Amino acid sequence: MRTSHRTSFLFAAVVAGLTLSAPSLPVLAQPAAPAAPAVASDAEIARVEEYLNGIRTLKSDFVQVSSDGAAAEGTFYLSRPGRMRIEYDPPVENFIVADGRFVYFWDAEMREQSNAPIGSTLADFLLRGDIRLSGDVTVTDVQRDGNLLEVSLVQTKDPGLGQLTLVFEDQPLRLRKWRVLDATGQMTEVALQNPQQGVELDRNLFFFRDPTRRQERD
C-alpha cells in the first residue's frame, strides 16, 4: 500500500498522542465545539469505560488510511497499564513504543527518536490502569449508527490538541477503529483487523531499542 512520511507522523500524533512540545510532530486542528452529550448518553459512556477497563492485553493488525489517499498497514500491541507498541509493515520502518513511563516514536528516515511522558499524551487515558472518560478527558459527542457506537473526546484543559473518535461495534461491544482530524482538516482512520484480547505478549515488545545500535552490532 502507498505510504508517506507524513502519514507516519500523523499516526504518531493520533495513537501515541504526543504533545506539541515533542519535536517534529504536527499540530492537530482545533476541533469544533460540539454540544455536550445528552444525559441519555451517560449509560453508553459507562459501558465504554467498563469495556476499555476490561482490556488488559490486545494484539491486532491495522489498516491506516487518510483522506488524501495515503495508507499503511501494521500491527498494534497493547498491554495495560502503560504499555503499547505500533509496528508498520515493510517498507515502513517507523515504530512507536510506550514503556510505562514514556512514549517513543522512531523516525527511520531521520534515524532519530522523539519522546514524551505518557501522562502528557492524548492516549494516556487508554493506557492508564483505571480508565475514566471524565476529568482530564472530556467526551464531546456520542453517536449511534446502526450497530456502531462512536465516542469523541478531547483533553479537557486543552481541546485544541486534537479530537479523537473511538468507534465500537456493539452487541458485543468491541473497539473497531479510531479517527482524528489533522491541522489541514483531513481525517485519518485506523481500523483494527482480527483483534485478539487477553493474549500473552512478550514484555520485550514494550522497551525502546535504538535500531541503529542493533545494526552496528550486526
pLDDT tens, position by position, 40-51: 478 889 999 999
The band of 67, judged by pLDDT with boundaries at 50, 70 and 90, is confident
Indicate whether 81 pLDDT > 50: yes
Residue 77's nearest CA partner among 16, 167, 118, 134 is: 16
The whole-number pLDDT of residue 83 equals 95
pLDDT averaged over the chain? 79
pTM confidence score: 0.78
Are the C-beta atoms of residues 199 and 60 closer than 8 Å to each other? no
Q: What is the pLDDT of residues 2-28, one digit of tens each?
A: 444 443 444 444 443 333 223 333 333
- Give the CA distances from residue 215 to residues 72, 93, 208, in Å, rounded to whole numbers and listed in that order: 24, 13, 15
pLDDT digits (tens, 9 = 90+) for 86-145: 999 998 889 999 999 999 999 888 898 999 888 877 667 788 899 998 888 889 999 988
Mean pLDDT of 43-60: 94
Q: Which CATH code is given to the segment(s) 5-198?
A: 2.50.20.10
Q: In this structure, what C-alpha cell is assigned to residue 18? A: 504526543
Q: What is the spatial distance between Cα 205 and Cα 50, in angstroms, rounded to a whole number?
A: 26
DSSP codes, 31-49: ---PPPPPGGGHHHHHHHH
